Amino acid sequence: MAASAGLGSRIARAGRWLAVLLIFAQPTWAEDFGLPQSARLASDEISEPASFDMPIGPFADGAIAHRHGEGRVERQVWQIGAAGITSLQIVAPVREALARQGFETLFECDTDTCGGFDFRFGIDVVPPPVMYVDLGSFYYLAAIRGDELRAVLVSHSSRTGFVQITTLTRSSPAEVALPDLAVPAVTATPLASAGTAPLGDLGAQLEADGHVVLADLVFATGARTLDQGRYQSLGDLAAYLAEHPAAQVVLVGHTDASGSLEANIVVSRQRASEVLARLVADYGADARQLTAAGMGYLSPIATNLTDQGRAANRRVEAVLLPSD
């Protein structure tokens, strides 16, 4: 028993020292990637063995060209607290750091040259709120060094810069260019105003009816990303969550019945995730109180046979869950 206790004590001390080392090492990691010392490591996931299909071309003809590899895959997401920072300001020193370390750039693009939302939704991205991608402003870069592939995706919200760095250390030199299935484009329009509470009464309707449509949200046509600007419904919801820290809310995306069910479920879930990310990044909501889901066209509130009905069905709702 004494030997066991002594071993447990040594493990605990080693754990504390490891935590200290990680705290002091993090700025060094940031500098290695060309990020400022203020960058915060928000997520670090390692899979081994694993495979990675690194995009090496824009979205074109319904697909994205990839370079395939297998081995150890590490996905890191860094967040930079800096209001007004742009994707280009973030990516420039990252590109320089890669060049210093001997990486060769295989492909790079910005929003439009990448292929816009078709490119974004055809690649592997850590889900929000950890990683946030503004479909109006992102940058992508792919590089190689020997048996190491590295993909960098950069974007930002109004207050925070986001950098996803995916690194594959290949156990095999085999490389294959693979096509990728792009998410079919589904027209996105301003959300419905039907069945909503007057702004300011959102919390009251949540508690009375269990759900409320966030009616003032605006998505650009064909996009899953919210237009820039402030939304009172999100401010009201964030305020309600702050006043009720035990509350749990599911953000549920809905579409009209145009297109396949599978595509609409993807779009509706992505829109709900975008709303969740915006609530956290711009309104200070606690991500632990929020979940995102998508129903596609399975829960209409109006007929899908008219333009007005379809507009009403395209919406994101906040659903209040019962407390334990």
Residue found by looking up tokens 């670090």 in the block: 44
Closest CA to 118 of 51, 52, 195, 180: 180
Segment 274-298, tens digit of pLDDT:
898 889 888 999 988 998 888 888 8
Task: Give residue 186's pLDDT.
Answer: 35
**Conformation bin of residue 195: beta by default, left when phi > 0, alpha when psi is -120 to 50:** left
Report yes or no on whether pTM surpasses 0.85.
no
- Report yes or no: 24 and 136 within 8 Å, Cβ to Cβ: no
In whole angstroms, how far apart are CA 162 and each of 41, 145, 300, 318?
A: 10, 24, 35, 26
Residue found by looking up tokens 């300011």 in the block: 200
Q: What is the mean pLDDT of residues 159-165?
A: 92
Distance CA 215, CA 232 (A): 10
Which one has a higher pLDDT value, 151 or 301? Answer: 151
Q: What is the mean pLDDT of residues 159-179?
A: 71
Task: Give residue 28's pLDDT.
Answer: 46
Task: Give residue 149's pLDDT.
Answer: 93
Task: Give residue 33's pLDDT.
Answer: 81
Paired residues of 141 in beta bridges? 108, 152
Q: Domain 202-320 carries which CATH code?
A: 3.30.1330.60
- Residue 81 has which token pair? 């607290």
Task: Give residue 200's pLDDT.
Answer: 57
Domain boundaries, the chain: 34-170, 202-320
Task: Give residue 141's pLDDT.
Answer: 95
Does position 18 have pLDDT exceeding 90, yes or no? no
Q: What is the mean pLDDT of residues 40-62?
A: 87
Residue found by looking up tokens 């579409």 in the block: 255
Weakest-pLDDT range from 147-156, 190-199, 291-300: 190-199
Does position 11 have pLDDT exceeding 80, yes or no? no
Q: What is the mean pLDDT of residues 148-174?
A: 86
Segment 296-311, tens digit of pLDDT:
888 888 888 888 888 8
Q: How confident is the model at residue 234 (pLDDT cuts 50, 70, 90)?
A: very high
Does position 20 have pLDDT exceeding 80, yes or no? no
Q: How confident is the model at residue 324 (pLDDT cuts 50, 70, 90)?
A: low
Segment 66-90, tens digit of pLDDT:
888 888 999 999 999 888 888 888 8
Q: How confident is the model at residue 121 (pLDDT cuts 50, 70, 90)?
A: confident
Does position 152 have pLDDT exceeding 90, yes or no? yes
Does position 26 have pLDDT exceeding 90, yes or no? no
Task: Give residue 165's pLDDT.
Answer: 95
